[in-house]
Chain A
Amino acid sequence: MEKAIVSAENVTYTYPAEEGKQNHAALHDVTISVKQGEFVAVLGHNGSGKSTFAKHLNAILLPSGGAVYIDGMDTREEGLLLAIREKCGMVFQNPDNQIVATVVEEDVAFAPENMGVAPEEIRRRVDACLETVGMGEYKRHAPHLLSGGQKQRIAIAGVLAMEPSILVMDEPTAMLDPAGRREVMQTVARLNREKGITVILITHHMDEAAMAGRIIVMHEGEVALEGTPREVFARVEEIRRLSLLPPQTVDLLWHLRAQGFDLPLEALSVEECADVLEAFLKK
């Protein structure tokens, strides 16, 4: 059996109560295990607990109950904090909150510098990571003059420069346009496929989730659905009940089924859906 590189066991998390307010649990008894090299997408509407879960993976938040292990390291052990954060890199939604330097290449060098990596190695990593995200020609630019999409790619390069084995991304493309999203998602898929980096992607985008090997849908702090993209998206009614929208391909087939036509719901891609509809219309 492959080993679980991320293991959350019965995690409960309650945000500290503010004065005069009921504190509410953002995570209830969440158990999730991710194997080395997996690509897992976590879906859920705003407030479903998916970001709270993500923040447990490199000890930004510590569980109120249960435990999180990153490559066997318990996130509650203070002495392991740096090792955990080197192992598990995190990219957030808003690149402006992640960029620290005034020159692109200095920003990407920030983490390896702090890790004590040798200067020549830092140079190599910075150049390689900027190429990976397609921002090589911007290395001497000032980040604040770049567009949101470009800044996000710089932020991703900055995390990649640590050479983490796990990449946790919390809606990394929410501020990007379709072309930027595609570039980032292709980069992420390539890192997963070619370098074997374990990817945990928190997203609202069904088409991004469809690229993952496994989807976990969260709802009100719990795991509500889990399976391959095909299995999860075919459950249209449940998806809707969880305040998510199924992909348009599946949605269209579902509506045709509701009209009494016997069509399969598993056609996720445009080509698969076209096959189903072509057969249906030419019948």
Chain B
Amino acid sequence: MSEILTVQNISHIYSAGTPFERAAVKNISLSVQEGEFVGLIGHTGSGKSTLVQHFNGLLKPTSGTVLVDGQDIHASKEATRRARFQVGLVFQYPEYQLFEETVYKDIAFGPRNMGLDEGEIDRRVRTAAQQVGLPEDALEVSPFDLSGGQKRRAALAGVFAMEPRLLVLDEPMAGLDPVGREEILQCIERFRRVSGAAVLFVTHSMEDAARVSDRLIVLNQGEILMQGSPAEVFSNSQALTAAGLDIPTVTRLFIELRRRGLPLSPAVYTVPQALAEILRLKNGGEGEVC
């Protein structure tokens, strides 16, 4: 697998030279492999949103380098432009950015800017709409007539249609109810499976992050606190709590049960895992620890 994103020692300082000077990102290095699903976690002000805006060149690092597909994205104007198409960035509340007369035109906006021909634009719009579960007849209505959840999905489709190789989403499920959150997660997962793109999503929900990610990166005060598989990261729940993050309720429950002397796995972070682990112990310790 090849590396789609390589970030080398980047720092970003806001309002440099003013009394409000603040380093939001401090000397961060990380990489994302093609097809990977990465969760980026951190509390408000930890630098997550600042960091991801470097991935497609919206922000230029104060120091350090960002490589997309091995190319320095600030090497030339052309390289920056290419990065914008290769790395699709979905902001918080992306539905606020819908603006066209019809859903179709809104989804087509990105591909059209890429200079694609009409046939290809049409194919991409329809594919993206299907990936987010928008019916054909929704394409001809005004995006402002869609329901809240549909608007969010239409906005996602606009980025999917650019067929980025790395999809970066900043809190894509914010403000949705549990069912809406699940729908959005499934849209993203479907896109990743079909396109083979990498996904990096920013969240402060440890539970959502743990459920879908191959790898978690935890940010604290502009620096990487830890990274690894969900099981590795959750085994170190003390550090997470110290960084102001909430660990899943079942993880806290298992810490409490272990404290009471029950030989349970420390790396439990979903209800099905918890269930399997309790049944394993109940049935005399047989079977695998998940």
Interface residues of chain A, those whose CB is within 8 Å of chain B, are 18, 44-47, 93-94, 141, 145, 147-150, 171, 174-180, 182, 204, 207, 243-245, 247-249, 251-252, 255-256, 259, 270-271, 273-274, 277-278, 280-282
Q: What chain A residues lie within 8 Å of B14 (beta carbons)?
A: 145
Contact B249 A247 (CB under 8 A): yes
Q: What chain A residues lie within 8 Å of B180 (beta carbons)?
A: 45-46
Is B204's beta carbon under 8 Å from chain A? yes
How many angstroms from the CA of A204 to the CA of B176 in the assembled complex? 8
12 more A-B residue pairs beyond the given contacts A178-B204, A178-B246, A271-B256, with a C-beta to C-beta distance below 8 A: A45-B178, A46-B148, A46-B149, A179-B43, A245-B178, A248-B271, A249-B249, A249-B253, A252-B275, A252-B278, A278-B260, A281-B278
Contact A149 B177 (CB under 8 A): no
**Interface 1/0 per residue, B279-290 and A, CB below 8 Å:** 101100000000
Is B112's beta carbon under 8 Å from chain A? no
Interface residues of chain B, those whose CB is within 8 Å of chain A, are 14-15, 20, 42-45, 92-93, 145, 147-149, 171, 174-180, 204, 206, 244-246, 248-250, 252-253, 256-257, 260, 262, 271, 274-275, 278-279, 281-282
Cβ 8 A contact of B45, one of A147, A207, A273: A147
Q: What chain A residues lie within 8 Å of B257 (beta carbons)?
A: 274, 277-278, 281
Contact B271 A278 (CB under 8 A): no
Interface centre among A44, A145, A252 (most CB of B within 10 A): A252
Q: What chain A residues lie within 8 Å of B42 (beta carbons)?
A: 177
Q: What chain A residues lie within 8 Å of B174 (beta carbons)?
A: 174-175
Write the nearest CB–CB distance from B136 to chain A, whole angstroms.
19
Contact A252 B256 (CB under 8 A): no
12 pairs, CB–CB < 8 Å, chain A vs chain B: A46-B176, A149-B44, A150-B45, A175-B92, A177-B244, A204-B176, A243-B179, A248-B253, A252-B274, A255-B271, A270-B253, A282-B262
Contact A248 B281, CB 8 Å, known A147-B45, A278-B257: no
Q: What chain B residues lie within 8 Å of A249 (beta carbons)?
A: 249-250, 253
Cβ 8 A contact of A45, one of B177, B250, B252, B271: B177
How many angstroms from the CA of A150 to the CA of B46 in the assembled complex? 13
Q: What chain A residues lie within 8 Å of B246 (beta carbons)?
A: 178-179, 182
Interface centre among B42, B249, B250, B275 (most CB of A within 10 A): B249
Contact A248 B177 (CB under 8 A): no
Contact A178 B175, CB 8 Å, known A270-B252, A271-B256: no
Cβ 8 A contact of A248, one of B245, B249, B256, B278: B249
Contact B148 A274 (CB under 8 A): no
Cβ 8 A contact of B204, one of A141, A145, A177, A259: A177
Write the nearest CB–CB distance from A26 to chain B, whole angstroms.
12
Q: What chain B residues lie within 8 Å of A281 (beta carbons)?
A: 257, 262, 278, 281-282
Write the nearest CB–CB distance from B12 to chain A, whole angstroms.
14
Q: What chain B residues lie within 8 Å of A247 (beta carbons)?
A: 249
How many angstroms from the CA of A162 to the CA of B262 in the assembled complex? 52
Interface centre among B14, B15, B271 (most CB of A within 10 A): B271
Contact B249 A149 (CB under 8 A): no
Q: What chain A residues lie within 8 Å of B282 (beta carbons)?
A: 280-281
